Amino acid sequence: MPFDLKEIASISGMPGLYKIIAPTRNGIIVESLAEKPVRSVAQARNRVSILQEISMYTNDAEATVPLADIFDRIKEKYGTNLPVNAKSSTQELSDFMESVLPDYDQERVYASDMKKLVQWYQAVSQFLPYAEEKATDAPAPEAAPAETTSAEDSDNQEDVKEKKAAKKKA
């Protein structure tokens, strides 16, 4: 997944997204994703949600779609110019979600979830690098079989015999 969301978190009681820097005794040190990043400590009592662990409901009761996959779909379809923002109407947000994730569960994905998705995508796309996936269509180069000459084989066999003989003497 091109956006690396392993160290990006949303913290209850703190606006915006944060990059996790290091653990402390009482919580974690985080740095805000902003023009001028500010470091602070998120206490252990705060609920920290890692973005990589978040997913959205689909109409299939058993399946959800990870947030990173949704971000990839948004990047492919819209790039950084989204047709909606966090202040868009519920209908506009719903249309946007349907264009990105057609089978999202309209009963369990609320307008507030869609607003968060838009805000988070804008922050992530602005402050995190997007790593293009490597082309997997090209066949992998096959490793050439190791060729040994008969002289090398006999040298190797003699080395093995010498080692065995040395072990017997010891």
Do residues 65 and 101 make contact, with C-beta atoms less than 8 angstroms apart?
A: yes
Summarised one tens digit per residue, pLDDT across range 70-119 is 999 999 998 888 899 889 999 999 999 999 999 999 999 999 999 999 99
- pTM for this structure? 0.71
Summarised one tens digit per residue, pLDDT across range 4-55 is 889 999 999 888 999 999 999 989 999 999 888 899 999 888 899 999 999 9
Mean pLDDT of 56-66: 90
Do residues 122 and 109 make contact, with C-beta atoms less than 8 angstroms apart?
A: no
H-state helical runs in 27-149? 67-78, 90-100, 111-127
- Domains within the chain, CATH numbers bracketed: 8-127 (1.10.10.1650)
